[in-house]
A and B are shown apart, each in its own frame.
With several copies, the nearest count.
Chain A
Amino acid sequence: MTVVVKIGGARAVDPDGALSDVASLVEGGTQVVVVHGGSTAVDDTLEALGESPEYVETPSGVVGRFTDERTMEVFSMVLPGQLNTDLVVGLQNEGVDAVGLSGVDGGLLTGARKSAVRVLEDGKKKIRRGDHSGRIENVNSDLLETLLETGHTPVVTVPMLADDGVAVNTDADRAAAAVAGALSGDLVVLTDVPGVLADVDDESSVIDRVDSPPTYETLTAAAEGFMSRKVMAATEALENGATTATIASANTERPISEALDETN
């Protein structure tokens, strides 16, 4: 059994529960791949450097990050640098032989570069060029399998390697989905809410299981904002070969095991 766990990158949103849960899963013979993001930490470091993260709005009203060259550099500092090192050390201290990888290592996560985006600025539609982002089309599962077979636990983060040979930003939830698909694994996306809520004001209204088109309709209708991206990632994982996909709260004692127990 292979489990791909998406966790937050910053320790604050990634309590030790997740790391010790990874340790007990690995101890029990489960192969685990950890995937993490951490864009709020990137914004913190940009701010500490006296720079500002740039968010742009598309003509359809979606807000996203514009990643210029300097922001991309800070991304590499914070994600494969600071946060990945911190998580690998945390897992090593739990007895897990973790190995950190970004999407550029061994061409782990590759795909098309998207350097231009349509944005809405002061009511004008414009094309902004120079964005460092891309869409994952290929996962080098051989590298992951080599590491898993030799007893290691890969800890994967963005950037990915775009087809023009440049490291670019990509959504970490979707990176986790791509990895889960490539490994035919179980995807568990940990988040700071208990799951997708049918009623966003009622924490007890978690949609437990989706196993038919109507319940999937209910799910996608209920998922708002950042959660809709997580549902999209879960959907992509299943379309690409993942066995199961679960969105669950990180704030329990054994968040991954509990999510897997409920799924299976």
Chain B
Amino acid sequence: MAECIECGASVSLHDDVEAGEIIDCGTCGSELEVIETDPVTLDTAPELEEDWGE
């Protein structure tokens, strides 16, 4: 379990959560990025444009 940094609600995590993974908060719907896994630290997932190269 971790805490949504947007609304403060508890966010449930599966066991094999990885750094970089994006989790949706079940309460407020925010997209949260897993910054670290031990312990799990969440931050708001950045909106990203796609800019592929050649």
**Chain A directly contacts chain B within the complex, with at least one CB pair under 8 Å:** yes
The majority secondary structure among interface residues of chain A is strand
How long is the Cα–Cα vector from A158 to B45 in the complex, in angstroms?
30
Q: Which residues of B contact A125 (CB under 8 A)?
A: 21-22, 31
Closest partner residue, chain B, to A56 (CB atom): B52
Partner of B22, one of A114, A127, A168: A127
**Could you tell me the distance in whole angstroms from the C-beta of A199 to the nearest C-beta in chain B?**
27
The majority secondary structure among interface residues of chain B is loop
| A-B contact list, 19 entries, CB within 8 Å | A58-B50, A62-B52, A65-B53, A114-B48, A114-B51, A117-B48, A117-B50, A118-B50, A124-B18, A124-B21, A124-B22, A126-B20, A126-B22, A127-B48, A135-B49, A135-B51, A158-B54, A171-B51, A171-B52
Q: Which residues of A contact B20 (CB under 8 A)?
A: 126-129
Q: A127-B46, A127-B48 are in contact. Are A132 and B22 (CB under 8 A)?
A: no
Task: Tell me if A38 and B54 are in contact (CB < 8 A).
Answer: yes
Q: A116-B46, A127-B45 are in contact. Are A134 and B21 (CB under 8 A)?
A: no
Closest partner residue, chain B, to A58 (CB atom): B50
Q: Which residues of B contact A128 (CB under 8 A)?
A: 20
Q: A126-B21, A128-B20 are in contact. Are A133 and B51 (CB under 8 A)?
A: yes
Task: Tell me if B21 and A133 are in contact (CB < 8 A).
Answer: no
Q: A126-B18, A126-B22 are in contact. Are A171 and B46 (CB under 8 A)?
A: no
Range of interface residues on A (Cβ < 8 Å)? 20 to 34
